[in-house]
Amino acid sequence: MAEKDAITKEYMQDNEIFADAFNYYLYNGEQVIKPEQLRPLDTTQIVLPYGSGEQSVPEQRYRDVLKMATAMTDDHAAYLLLGIEDQSEIHNAMPVKNMFYDAGQYVKQVESAAKSHRAAGDKPETSADFLSGFYKTDKLLPVITLTMYFGADEWNAPRDLHSMLAADESILKFVDNYRIHLIAPADIADEDFAKFRTELNLALKYVKYSKNKNKLSDMIQEDTAYRKVSRKTADMLNIVTNSGLHYAEGKESVDMCEAIEGIRNDAREEGREEGREEGREEGVLKTLVDLVKDGILTLADAAKRANMSVSEFEVKSGLKA
C-alpha cells in the first residue's frame, strides 16, 4: 500500500492534474483554477495534544498535497488553500482525518496573523484582539480538502462525521457535521469523465473498470486517447490497479492497447495451463476409479491418493462406499 500511496501522491502534485481535479469538483469542469496560479505550500502540520500529566507533546503530521490557488470568477479573485489526500484503499475515518487537517490549517493561519501583528508592533484595540492575537479585521483563507480515491470499489465508508457518531437526531443537531469532498471513480458517470481536461480522465476511467477486464479491454480499444498515454500515468495505473501491464522501458508515452494485450496473452496462457492441469487431474481420477472397480484399491485408499476426503472422492468419481 505504501508504494501505491507514494505514486498517487507524486501524481497529484503535478499542477495540471491538481487543477484538473479541483476544476472538476468545484466548477463542473470549467477551467477556473489555472495550473500556473498554483503555489506549493509546506505540508507539515504541528499539533500539540495533551500528554500524560497534561504536558503538551508536539506531534508532526504531513498532508499529501497542499497548494495556494487563485480562482478567478466574474473578475473577482478568490484565494484558496487546496489540499488533496490520496487513498488507494477505503478509509473508514476519512471525515475525522480531513477535519483534523483543515482545522490545523486554520489554526496555523490564526497563529500566523498573531505573529504578524507582534512583529509589526500593532497594538490591539480590544481585549478580544489581545486574547486571541487575531484581530476582528483579520480574515482567513478558505481551506478545501479533496479526497482522491484510486480504487475501483464503491466508497462504502462514512462520508460525513455524523455517520460515525453513536447518537440520535436530538443530539446530532447540536453537533456540527463535517463532510468529505470525494472523487471516486465508481461515482463518476461515463459521460462525466470528459469534464476532466488532462489524463486524469483516462486514469480514473481505467481505475473504474480495472476489475472488469472485458469492459476495460473494450474501452481501451475504442478510445483512441489510450494509444498515447504518458509514462507517469501508465506507471501510476500499473501500480495502483496491479494490472501487470507490459510496455518497454525508456519511452515517454505508452500505447495502452499494446500494454493490455500482454495481460490478455498471459490470461490465455494461464487458461491453457489450467486446462492442461484439469486434464491431468481427470486422467489420474479415471485411473483411480478403475483401480477401485478392479478391487485393487479401497475407496479410502483412492481418495487418499487423490488428496481428497472420501466423500469428495465419491462425488467426483460417482462411486459409493
Q: How far is CA 247 from CA 235, 240, 260, in A?
A: 10, 16, 9
| pLDDT tens-digit readout, 63-108 | 889 999 987 766 677 789 999 999 999 999 999 999 999 998 999 8
Determine the 3-state secondary structure of 143 from DSSP: strand
Distance in angstroms (rounded) separating the CA atoms of residues 28 and 32:
10
8 A C-beta contact, residue 160 and residue 175 = no
Residue type, 21: A
Q: What residue segments make up the domains of the chain, in order of their start? A: 2-199, 280-317
Cβ neighbourhood burial of 107 (10 Å; 0-12, 13-18, 19+): middle
Contact between 64 and 84 under an 8 Å Cβ cutoff? The reply is yes
Rounded CA-CA distance 278/271 in Å is 10
Compute the distance between CA of residue 89 and CA of residue 79 in angstroms, rounded to an integer.
31
- pLDDT value of residue 315: 79
What is the Cα–Cα distance from 285 to 292, expressed in whole angstroms?
11
Dihedral angle of Cα 132, 135, 136, 140, to the nearest 10 degrees = -90
Going by their DSSP bridges, the two strands 76-87 and 143-149 should be labelled as parallel
Q: Are 253 and 24 in contact (CB under 8 A)?
A: no
Residue for cell digits 460515525?
164
Where the chain has pLDDT below 70, the residues are 45-61, 73-75, 262-280, 321
19, burial (CB in 10 Å: exposed 0-12, middle 13-18, buried 19+): buried
Query: pLDDT value at position 244?
Result: 86
pLDDT of residue 285: 80
What pTM was estimated for this model as a whole? 0.76
Measured CA to CA, the distance from residue 7 to residue 144 in angstroms comes to 22
Pairing of strands 181-183, 65-73: unpaired
The pLDDT assigned to 20 comes to 98
User: DSSP letters of 30-94?
Assistant: ---B-GGG-EE---EEEE--B-GGG-B--EEEE-SEEEEEEEEETTEEEEEEEEEEEESS--TTH
As a whole number of angstroms, the distance between CA 240 and CA 89 comes to 10
